[in-house]
Amino acid sequence: APFDVEYHDSIGSTNERARELASEGREDVAVVADEQTAGRGRLDRGWTGPAGGIYSSLLLRPDVPPAHAPVYTLAAAVAVTRAAREVGIDASIKWPNDVLVGQSGERGGKKLCGILTEMEGEADRVAWLIVGIGINANVHAEVLPEGATSLQEERGEPVDRRVFTQRLLETFDELRADPDSILDAWREHAATLGQRVRVDTPGGEVVGEAVDVEFPGALIVETDDGERERVTAGDCEHLR
Ligand code: BTN
Global ipTM: 0.99
Residues of the chain with CATH 2.30.30.100: 196-238
**Residue 146: how many CA atoms within 13 Å on its side-chain side?**
2
Strands 196-201 and 235-238: antiparallel
Per the CB < 8 A criterion, the answer to whether 78 and 99 are in contact is no
CATH architecture of 4-189: 2-Layer Sandwich (3.30)
Distance CA 182, CA 123 (A): 24
Closest ligand 1 atom to residue 53 Cα is: 9
Distance CA 16, CA 50 (A): 17
Distance CA 78, CA 169 (A): 11
Residues of the chain with CATH 3.30.930.10: 4-189
| Ligand 1 and 107: CB distance under 6 A | no
Distance CA 189, CA 106 (A): 19
Q: List the end-to-end C-alpha distance of the chain, in Å, as a whole number.
A: 42
Q: For the domain bounded by 196-238, which CATH number is listed?
A: 2.30.30.100
- pLDDT tens digits, residue range 188-233? 999 999 999 999 998 999 999 999 999 999 999 999 999 999 999 9
Three-state DSSP class for residue 105: coil
Per the CB < 8 A criterion, the answer to whether 171 and 78 are in contact is yes
- Best residue for ligand 1 mutational test, from 16, 55, 169 (most atoms within 8 Å of Cβ): 55
Total-model pTM: 0.96
Angle, CA of 78, 81 and 86, to the nearest 5°: 125
Closest residue by Cα to atom 8, ligand 1, is 134
- pLDDT tens digits, residue range 34-93? 999 999 999 889 999 999 999 999 999 999 999 999 999 999 999 999 999 999 999 999
Distance CA 80, CA 169 (A): 9
